Structures are given as structure tokens and as C-alpha cells.
Structure 1
Amino acid sequence: MLLHRAQAEPLNAVATALFLLAILHTFLAPRFLAASHRLRERVEAAHGPGAHSGKVEVLHFLGEVEAVFGIWVLPLMIAITVAKGSKTAEAFLGRVNFTEPLFVVVVMALASTRPVLSFAEAVMGRVARLGGGTPFAWWLSTLTLGPLLGSLITEPAAMIICALLLGRRVLDLDPTRRLRYATLGLLFVNVSVGGTLTHFAAPPVLMVAARFGWDTPHMLANFGWKAAVAIALSNLLYAAIFRKDLQALAARAEAEAAARDAGARPDEPTPRSPVWIVVVHLVLLALVVKAAHTPPLFVGLFLFFMAFHAATAPHQQPLDLRAPILVGFFLAGLVVHGALQQWWIAPVLGRLDPLSLLFGAAGLTAFNDNAAITYLASLVPTFDAAARYAVVAGAVAGGGLTVIANAPNPAGQAALARYFPDGVKPASLAAAALAPTAIVLACFLWL
């Protein structure tokens, strides 16, 4: 069947080939980034610090994971134009739904502001203080409560808040490479399943909730409590495995605190925003989340936020939109490519029994956005209740295996990029996410 479809419309095969090349590029991105660093060092050694090189910038751009799918949209559009004409290419782009990329840009920019982050830090801090306020307590509370909070504030907002808190409270202490990857893998998997307590927070659930007739009570009864159990089990497993690494961080944090107390490293207190500014930010974030499916509304709210941010600048951090825009570019490119993969994904899923669907969806999610997987599965008319459960469970379970597996992942990677100077290596991320993914699959299968 797939061969016949490819022969009937060769552009399908071309689009999928370009999509596979884009995926390969994501695996090679850290190598481009490392090459750009080496070339920059040679250029600066030859011409002095700060010397500019076009080759360095090109290599660095090719090494930006967030830019990969957007880069590969260009040859895709050229292929469509050559095969079908420019009007067809323009019409195709006009039909692509860019709501999710736009929403992630807005919510990422809002969630990373000082007022929102300080509020989240205060909430997590109350729980962390029950464990003594150690790096381990922050690590455990953030990786447990943060992803579950995503069911209310949406997964992208939870991802950026958790990533920034983990960076500030744990990764700033320079943990081992193994712990850094374990933390990233746990974060991606936990956020992917943590949004399943409601029907509106996780992109793969949101794409099918109306079509399947699922509401929040249904999600809680069939997915939510199992996801919470899986998150707890995964965190406890990694806490046991990395016990010594986390204890070493506690000793390092105590040493730094002692140095500050002795005056060796004076530490200026973090400026806090007035309560009324925090309230305005939280209200704006809530309104943006509520308007997640209406771009004119949430973009308008974002413009209001930018004006408010400028008016209250003394109580704000500078607004850095580079990371949100890069993540939006990544997701927009992924949406464009994903729109042309229906020809093979839907027939493949339609042939599988529920158990095969569970594992098949988890595997496919590693190479395509899990929201695209569930959306394409919802188009299969023969799916019964068991098949629907299996495909959604598999899609959310596999959402941490790669950066492209779940829409919020690029936001988390961008927030933690400085802790991975040579880029996040896909194989290391997949290895770190494998055990939590297996635990989630087991919980969805047997609980």
C-alpha cells in the first residue's frame, strides 16, 4: 500500500526523504556545534578575541537544534514548487496550523519572566524545605510537582519553569555529565506525561480530545493517576541511582553558602517583584493558557504583556525573545514537515493491535512530534476505545526520547543549553530517557 501511494504521488516520498534528512540533521547538530567552537578558537587565535567569521556563524546555525526543521522547510518548499507550482506551495503553507508554535513562543516568554519564576520558586521551595532545602530536595520536588502542574498551566509553561528552576538550583552546581543527562531525560518524560491529568494541557491529548469525546474526568481516571505513579517511580529510581552525585551537590552547595557567609563570595539578593506585578503576570499567563486555541487573542495578550513589561522595567529582567523564537521556529518547521507524513503514518498505525499500537506509537514518537502521531491516529476510522487509549498512552510515554518527540522539549533544551556546551547528544538523551519511558509504558499497560 505504501509503495503504491509513493508511486501515485512521488512528492510523498520526497517529503518523507527530506523529513528523514532533517531528523538525521538533529542527530548531527552537536557535531556542527562542536566544529563551530573549534573553528572559532582557531579564528580568535589567528585574528584576536572577538574576530568574526562567516563560516563559524554558519556552522553554529547548523548546530542549533531549534533551527533544523526550519532549515529543511526550504528544500521542501522548493520541491513542492518544482513539482506542483508556486501557488500550490503557497496554498499548502496557508493550510498548515501554526497555532501551537505561536502559543509556545508566547507562553515560554511569559513563563520565563522574573515574577512568574519567583512565584513558582516560592511554591516549589515550600516543598523543597520539607526535605531540608538541599539540591536533592529541589531536584525531587521540581521533577515531581512541576510536570503535574503542567496539567493546569499547560506543558510548555511547566517545561520552561521546571527547566529554569533545575538550572538555578541543581545544574548551576556543576553536577556530573551523567546526572545532567538523567535530569534532562527525566524532565522530558515527566513533562510529557504530567499533562495528562486534564484534556487541554498536553498537545497529543488536545489534538484528539474532542474527536474521542474525552474530558478531564476521563483523563484523570484513565491516564492522570497512572502518570503520577510513573513520575514518582521514575524519580525515586533515579534518586537511588544518582544518590552519591546528589549528595555531592549538597556538599558543594553548603561550601558555597559558607563562602558567601564568610564574605569570600558576596551574593547579592535576587530582586523580587512587587506582589501586584506578580499577580498581573499570573493573570496574563492564565488568560494566555485559556486562549491557547485563539491566536489573535493570545498574541494580543502578549503584546499587552510587552507593554506592561516595558512600563515596569525596574522590576523586570530584560525580555530575551531569542530562545522562544528559536523554539517557535523549530516547532513551525516540524508542523510543516509533519503535515506531509500522513500518507504513511496513518496506514501503519491502522494495521496494529492495541499492544502493538502502544509500543509502535512510543517508537514513532521518537521520530515525529507526538501530537502529530495522535492526530493522524484519530483519522483512522477503525480505532475502538482500546486502540485510542493505546496510541495516546504510547505517544505521551515516548515524548522524552528525543528533542522532537514532544512540543515543549525544545523549550526545555533551550533553557538548559548552557549546561551542555557541545549540545545535547541525541543518543545520550535517549539513553537517559529510556528507563522512565519503560516505567510509564508499564504503568499505562498494567495499572
Structure 2
Amino acid sequence: MSVEVLSTVLLAVALVHSFITPVFAQFSKKFKQGSGLEAFFHLLSEVEVVFGFWAIIFLTISSISYGAMPMLSYARSLQMTEPLFVFCIMILASSRPVVTIARSILLGLVKILCRLLPVDEKVIQVFVLLGVGPLLGSLITEPAAITILALLLYRMLDKVDEKLLYGVLALLFVNVSIGGGLTHFAAPPILIVAHKFGWSLKDVFVQIGEAVICTTLVNALVFCFIFKNKIKAQIQKLEPEHYPMPVWLTVTHLLFMTGIVLAAHQDIIFVGLFLAFIGLTTVTKKYQDGLKFREAFLVAFFLAGLIVFGSLQKWWVTPILQALTEKTLYFIATALTAVTDNAALTYLGSQVEGLTESSKWALVSGAITGGGLTILANAPNPAGFAILSEKFPDKSLNALKLFLAALVPTVIAIGFFMIFGNF
């Protein structure tokens, strides 16, 4: 068996594992609380751990079977900038000053809409968070946007039923995946190919901007219409932040975020900025909440696992992409994104020689369209679930329920990309 086939087999195993994490959560309860076995099986129920866990197994088996030096060379060839970036930006975005300013902006928009529309304020809050909020990802990056939105939604979701809970999570995933598509640097599947394809901010905005804006707003509108009664009865109203926050501290945090976003491709620079930011938080503890180190680490571990597997899937992805027409490529990319990280998918597509310009747009459009179908479909998804996981039974995600909840907003997205997509 070649190393490529082995990687694909273990990737498939990891995918199956991600769908049955609740089984591991239940199994962990058979052991004494605090015991090693209980901790081990509970760890395997964390969906963010799955791909990193199987990546370690893959590297171990490969080192034994094919030699340690070849696998060490392979590991050194992997580009881990994205996991590092997501780790840094997620922690920064979870800081109280950043969340406070984001909350103020979104609640300001809610007030304006409340004056204009005869609609319950909680319904408008949900619409703004899940419809307008994801579009902020085009400016501050998707990992930062989903972190902020999940933290705000966490305060609103208290004793809600499972159908509404999965509906919120699915819409958050779908809209964040698509909402970062207004710029060339915010959505991982666009960011990773923009340089090679020669795309600028203008190119991305002109080509898919209409579909992105229409999809996020209409998805949120449809969700609020379907769940309006449950939102009124079960969702907690989001209140303004009452803690005083010095203006200089908020500005400093935003400058750190801007610097890290602008240096997203330069890990030495953004890690240095991040370390300086951590230093700032240690002397401003009065104005800080607990930073999301654990959640950010799990997400980075998840992404690193996908990267270990990703580049070895070219043997089966490339022939598929080369044989497809533009529209077929769009639908196949949307479907493949459910089982392959969308950034990995577009990266593999960028290695295929002879792709037409319309095929490139079809590939990227499909990748962001399917980004909410599963937790592994889009890199920021684990960040959102890591924050909201306490609201779910056993802190575990049922992958099938997420997939079913994400189907309607994904179909709506397909409709708009069929209308406005240039492929």
C-alpha cells in the first residue's frame, strides 16, 4: 500500500470517527470519572481532536513502514502557517475589548432596525448576528468573525431545544463560510489560492460579491421566519456590555488584530505580534476575560491534522477536477467540501494545470458554498463549535444532525451562486 492510499484510508476512518463522536462520549461514562480511560475516550469524543489524532497515527505507521527520514522530510514540507494564524487570531478575537466593540456595532444596527421594523428585538438580534455578522469576516477574517459571533450567541443560547440549537450552529457555519467571500484574504479557501490565481480584492468582490451578500442575508431571513416563535420563547436577549472599557485599550487590541491579519502569510511576524499582545493582556487583567487558549489549541490541532492528510489526496482529487465542466465542478466541489476541508480542496485544485478562469471560480464558489455541511468543511467551524460545545448534550456534535440542518441554507446558497456566479 502506498503512502497516499494509506493516508486516504485513515482520512476516511477519521471522517467516520467524526460522525460517531457521541458514541465515544457515551462510552467514556462507563469508566470511573477522572480515570485515564474516561479521559481518553472523552478526548476522542472531541471532534476537534479527531483529525489530529488520526494524523499522528498516520505519521507513526508511515514512519515504521516507509522509514522515519522520508516521513520527517514530509512533515518538514508541510505549511502550518494557517493553524498558527487561526490559533493567534482566535485568542485575540475572544478578548473582552474586541468582543465588546463587536457587540456595540451589532447592537447599534439592531437598534436602527428595531426603529424601522415592527419585529421582536430578539428576532432582529438573531438576524443581525447570523446575517450581517458573517459578512464582517471579510474584513477581520472568518476565524475572528466566528469566534466573536459564537461568544455572543453563547450568551443567548440557554436551554434551547436541539432543533433550534443545530439550526443556529448550521446557519453560523454556512454563513461564515460564505460571508468571508467579499475579499481575497479572509476565507481560507480563497486566501490559499488568491496569489497563485492572481486575484485581487476587486476580482473577488466583483465575481462573487453579489452571491455572498444575498446568500447570508436571505439565509438569516429564512431562518428567523421559520424559527421566530422559538426565538421569542427560548433565546435570551443580548444586552449591551456594562463594563467600562478604556478607548486606548480597545484601539490597541484592534491594531494588534489588524497587524496579525495583514501579516497572515508571515508566521514569524504575526506570532511576534501575538506574543506582544499576550504581554499586554497580563498587565490589563482588569479588562480581560479568560482567553480561549484551550479552544484555540484544539482548532489549530484539527487544522494541522487536515494539512497532514490534505496534500496526499491529490492522486484522486486531481483526475476528478480535470474531467469536469464548470457547473459540474461547482456541484462536485460543494459535495467534496463536506468530506475535505475546503481550503485543502481549493489548494489541490490550484495544483491542477490548465484550469480555465471560470473553472477556478466554480471551484472556489463550490468550496465556500459547502463549508457548513460538516465541521471539517471549513477551517473556522471547529472554532465556533469549541465555544458553543457546552450547549450541546455531552459537549458532543452529532454530524448527521448538523448536515441535515445545513442543507436548506446550503441549497439557498447554491441558488444564488447559480444566478450570480460567473462560471
Q: TM-score range by the shorter chain?
A: over 0.9
Contact 1:135 1:249 in 2 (8 A): no
Query: What does residue range 176-215 of structure 1 map to in structure 2 within 5 Å?
Result: 176-215=161-200
Aligned residue in 2 for 1:106: 88
Show the counterpart of 1:161. 148
- Aligned: 1:19 with 2:11: yes
Residues 322-331 or 123-132, more deviating: 123-132
**Displacement of 1:10:** 2.1
Equivalent residue number for residue 444 of structure 1: 417
Gaps of 5+ in 1: 1-8, 44-50, 258-267
Matches within 5 A, 1:85-164: 85-132=67-114, 134-164=121-151
Match for residue 353 of structure 2?
381
Shift of 1:23: 0.7
User: Conserved in 2, the CA contact under 8 Å of 1:154 and 1:200?
Assistant: yes
Deviates more, 1:215-224 or 1:116-125: 215-224
Shift of 1:131: 4.3
Gaps of 5+ in 2: 115-119
1:86-145 superposed Cα distances (whole Å, 9 cap, x missing partner): 111111000000000000000000000111000100001101223448322211111122
Q: Distance in 1 between matches of 2:37 and 2:66?
A: 34
| One-letter amino acid of the counterpart of residue 201, structure 1 | A
The CA deviation at 1:270 is 4.6
1:376-406 deviation digits (Å, cap 9, x = unpaired): 1112212112211111111100000000000
CA distance in structure 2 between the aligned counterparts of 1:165 and 1:74, rounded to whole angstroms? 34
Task: After TM superposition, give the deviation of residue 208 of structure 1 in Å.
Answer: 1.5
Would you say the 8 A contact 2:90–2:292 is kept in 1? no
Q: Which one of the candidate residues 372, 379, 383 is aligned to 2:344?
A: 372
Query: Shift in Å at residue 52 of structure 1?
Result: 2.4
Counterpart of 1:289 in structure 2 is 261
Could you tell which deviates more after superposition, 319-328 or 358-367? 319-328
Query: Which residue of structure 1 aligns with residue 397 of structure 2?
Result: 424
Show the counterpart of 1:435: 408
| Distance across 1 between alignment mates of 2:371 and 2:287 | 36
Letter in 2 for 1:443: F
The percentage of aligned residue pairs carrying the same residue is 41
Judged with a 3 Å threshold, the aligned counterparts in structure 2 of structure 1 residues 396 and 320 are, in CA distance, closer, same or farther, namely closer
Aligned residues: 414
1:438 and 1:273, CA in 2 relative to 1: closer, same or farther beyond 3 A? same
- Kept after mapping to 2: 8 A contact 1:147/1:190: yes
Contact 2:94 2:292 in 1 (8 A): no
Q: Contact conserved, 2:132 with 2:216, CA < 8 A, in 1? A: no
306-315 vs 207-216, which moves further: 207-216
Give the structure with higher Rg (CA).
1
The one-letter amino acid of 2:253's match is H
CA positional deviation for 1:31 = 1.6
Query: For the residues of structure 1 that align with 2:57 and 2:227, how far apart are their CA atoms?
Result: 44
Aligned pairs for 1:256-335 (under 5 A) are 270-335=242-307
Is 1:171–2:157 an aligned residue pair? yes
User: C-alpha separation between the residues in 1 aligned to 2:323 and 2:307?
Assistant: 24
Does the aligned pair in 2 maintain the 1:147–1:194 contact within 8 Å?
yes
- Aligned residue type for 2:41: L
Alpha-carbon distance in 2 for matches of 1:198, 1:376: 21
> In 2, distance between residues paired with 1:405 and 1:269?
33
Q: What is residue 387 of structure 2 aligned with on the other side? A: 415
Counterpart residue number, 1:230: 215
Q: Give the structure 2 partner of residue 260 of structure 1.
A: none
Aligned residue identity for 1:55: L
Q: Is the 2:303–2:379 contact (alpha carbons within 8 Å) kept by the matching residues of 1?
A: yes
- Describe the SS at the equivalent of 2:190: helix
Q: Aligned to 1:200, what secondary structure does the other structure show?
A: coil
Secondary structure in structure 2 of the residue aligned to 1:400: coil
Q: Distance in 1 between matches of 2:365 and 2:210?
A: 13
TM-score by length of 2: 0.94
Aligned to 2:117: none
Q: Equivalents in 2 of 1:67, 1:253: separation in Å? A: 33
Q: Distance in 2 between matches of 1:181 and 1:269?
A: 27
SS at match of 2:20: helix
Q: Could you give the per-residue CA deviations for residues 219-252 of structure 1, whole angstroms, max 9, x where no partner exists? A: 11111121100111111111111121112136x6
The 5 Å alignment of 1:15-94 reads 15-36=7-28, 38-39=29-30, 43=32, 52-94=34-76
Pick closer, same or farther for the CA change 1:104–1:282 going to 2, 3 Å.
same
RMSD of aligned Cα (Å)? 1.8
